[in-house]
Chain A
Amino acid sequence: MSDTTNGQRTATISVLVDNEAGVLARVIGLFSGRGYNIDSLTVAPVDADLSRSRITVVTRGTDLVIEQIKAQLGRLVPIHKIADLSADGPHVARELGLIKVIARGEPRVEALRIADAFRAKIVDTTIESFVFELTGASEKIDAFIDLMRPLGTTEISRSGVAAIARGTRTII
């Protein structure tokens, strides 16, 4: 959730934007140009007519910096709504990881056992490799990857965080 080292906290910010060319570059450019962190970023269209996309950015900063990030995002013309999900109330944040483990013998069996414990899905397999699909909080995926790494050659692909408020609250 929110670690508060040095007065900093992690913020999960969801932004509803026009689904148009360059809009992601505006958001990313704002973060890099003003020296804000991006820990993770996801984007995809969310309206039935594909007219708007939702960008979810996980970032870090003091409360003042997070407020500043929201205010700076608010200046961008094609932005409709901004929500700091971590500050506004309970929310669900999930990430999907695809983890390839190349191993034989005992490490391969161990990989399977761990995957079972994490309820990871096997989406591809060969005699010497698995691709696991795992969904959950980022920390869960971190933990899974930490356990897999010693077992063989690993390759990781992660989606970044998608998040939404619990209950009836929306930013539609």
Chain B
Amino acid sequence: MNAEMNHAETPAAGAQVLLRALKEQGVEVIFGYPGGAVLPIYDALFQQNAIRHILVRHEQAAVHAAEGYARSTGKVGCVLVTSGPGATNAVTGLVDALMDSIPLVCLTGQVPTHLIGNDAFQEADTVGITRPATKHNYLVKRSEDLARVVHEAFYVARSGRPGPVVIDLPKDILIKPAPYVEATREPHRSYRPQTEPDAAQIDRAVALIQHSRRPILYTGGGIINAGPEASALLRELVAETGIPCTNTLMGLGALPASDPHFLGMLGMHGTYEANMAMHGCDVMINIGARFDDRVTGRLNAFSPHSKKIHADIDASNINKVVTVDVPILGDAGLILRALLERIRSLNAQPDRASITAWWRQIDSWREKRSLAFVQPDAPGSIIKPQHAVRRLFELTRQSGRETFITTEVGQHQMWAAQHFGFERPNHWMTSGGLGTMGYGLPAAMGVQVAKPDALVIDIAGEASILMNIQEMGTLAQYRLPVKVFILNNQYMGMVRQWQELLHGSRYSESYSEALPDFVKLAESFHGVGMRATSVDDLDRVILEMLKCDRAVIADIAVDQGENVYPMIPSGAAHNEMLLGPDRHHNNTEVTNAGMVLV
């Protein structure tokens, strides 16, 4: 009692109050990098053991690591960087988290309040720069606001559509005493996301589903963000109704890849059956996806004959790109529960005979085997990248270990999405919206921190991996046994592919000249390097990699000319896919309108 009163009389320094608030918010790990403006926080961290700090080698990597941590645990990731360059380096990671709706709180140091605006050393207008890069941001100018702002920031980051939140902390605020307040249970004064769906909209959706003959579930990252229960409910809904289901890149794992109702990923590099089913459906049930341009193809030809249901936590996603018939605002899990209960109570399953006929149609599309590839098996044959991913998938599955996959961005990312089967949510981390090269290694690092005993593999390209290669040092320091599996085709493969298909095979600046020796590189960072140059080496290298209890770079030399298929060319529709170099479904020419699309 007395101690408490004393505590109230002599409040702790801001930095201590900050850590106390982080602890109250359940923070166990911070990914960060010190600097002048945040020294008081580092001093406070030094004097406690409750919160662990992981020292990264670049601030962008701190944010991606926190993303990996958040996506594998469902918790809010926490980042700590200094003012000026610390904050600006973090911006790419923040936008990445914003685009993929990943909950983060990023603490940035700031020059003392009396110097703000004076172009002080390592000063940047962090709240100005990060305003469009975050869900929300704060500059704490008064000590009495500090604890409240931290609690509010975590609430904003994790509630509604999750996202990154920045708290900019002037150095004097960290040093001066600050009062502590606990998190309030009061509703926020202005921010109140709607999570509970409207019953009338659920009824309208159920009526559409009941009378559908060719329905499809198109689900995205919203289901992953709604927690594992939402994925379980999706499985129930699919089993209850027999409706085929496709996932976006962000939504992989919501339905097990082995489920016969799973059509694979849809969109630009999705499966033929998923895209044809989207094109031919009569009722589309979009849950937690946002009609991204990678998914829809040419908009005026997008699923022309369907009634569309769109369930989303963010009202601004509804009718943004595609006009829908039944919008449902709310949490994906609560919406799935409501749909399932209503369908069961009304016996509103779609007509079995229609669904069976629809599946016959889908099976005929499946027979195209749009993900097929030919791996020559003669000794010394060059490895097809698809084969490398398939073998990685099969050998990790045989190992029986819990496996998390992250990726960089490009061809390897698409091959990973197509050929690695994800059975559970939260085990697949990729930069979907922003497409950030250099994401995979730090993200894997964050996953491994959260899941020390799991197998964490970054499926990488040789170009992307170099964008955050310095994090090999972090892996060494914390003995994080992340596996980097490089599909090395010595090209920025996706750039090369587009140059081949759209720019007359003029490979402008897309050749990976002067690559490092990745085996030696791994060794120089105290890791283990391995190499496979032909199909004969592949399984042995993968098995060795899986056995190794240290960080590994496995450099897999793959076919340089391989392209990602199937593909919806820019400006084409779902039913105008290219199935492969020799298997053009339609002779689709890319139009000028298509050329301008990214």
Contact = CB atoms under 8 A, between A and B. Distances in A.
B315 interface: yes
Contact of A22 (B131, B161, B316, B319): B131
A64 B319 contact: yes
B135 A77 contact: yes
Contacts of B323: 64
A78 B139 CA distance: 14
B316 A25 contact: no
A72 B316 contact: yes
A125 interface: no
B113 to A, nearest CB: 12
Given A21-B139, A64-B323, A71 B315 contact: yes
Say whether chain B's binding surface is mostly helix, strand, loop, or mixed. loop
Given A64-B319, A68-B316, A68-B319, A77 B131 contact: no
Contacts of B191: 77-78
A75 B314 contact: yes
5 contacts: A22-B127, A25-B128, A25-B131, A67-B319, A77-B190
Contacts of B127: 22
Interface string A33-51: 1000000000000000000
A29 to B, nearest CB: 6
Contacts of A75: 135, 161, 314-316
Interface centre among B136, B141, B156 (most CB of A within 10 A): B136
A29 B139 contact: no
A74 B161 CA distance: 12
B315 A74 contact: yes
Interface in B289-309: none
Interface in B116-146: 127-128, 131-132, 135-136, 139, 141
B95 to A, nearest CB: 12
Say whether chain A's binding surface is mostly helix, strand, loop, or mixed. helix
B190 A71 contact: no
Interface of A: 17-18, 21-22, 25-26, 29, 33, 64, 67-68, 71-72, 74-80
Given A72-B316, A77-B190, A80-B190, 11 more contacts: A21-B139, A25-B128, A26-B131, A64-B323, A67-B319, A75-B315, A77-B135, A77-B156, A77-B188, A77-B191, A79-B190
B189 interface: yes
Nearest to A71: B316
A71 B316 CA distance: 5
A16 to B, nearest CB: 9
B185 interface: no
Interface centre among B139, B190, B314, B318 (most CB of A within 10 A): B190
Given A21-B139, A22-B127, A72-B316, A33 B190 contact: no
Nearest to B316: A71
A58 B320 CA distance: 21
Contacts of A78: 190-191
A26 B190 CA distance: 15
A29 B125 CA distance: 15
Interface in B193-244: none
Contacts of A77: 135-136, 156, 188, 190-191
A77 B152 CA distance: 11
Nearest 3 interchain pairs by C-beta: A71-B316, A77-B136, A71-B315
Contacts of B320: 68, 71
Interface centre among A22, A75, A79, A80 (most CB of B within 10 A): A75
Nearest to B188: A77
A79 B188 CA distance: 11
A81 to B, nearest CB: 9
A64 B322 CA distance: 10
Contacts of A79: 190
Contacts of B132: 29, 33
Nearest to A73: B316
Contacts of A76: 136
B103 to A, nearest CB: 14
Interface in B312-361: 314-316, 318-320, 323
Contacts of B136: 76-77
A62 B308 CA distance: 21
A26 B139 CA distance: 14
Nearest to B160: A75
Nearest to A33: B132
Contact of B189 (A18, A21, A26, A33): A18
Contacts of B128: 22, 25
Contacts of B319: 64, 67-68
A59 to B, nearest CB: 15
A160 B318 CA distance: 31
A77 B188 CA distance: 9
Interface centre among B132, B135, B141 (most CB of A within 10 A): B132
Contact of A18 (B139, B190, B314): B190
A26 B132 CA distance: 8
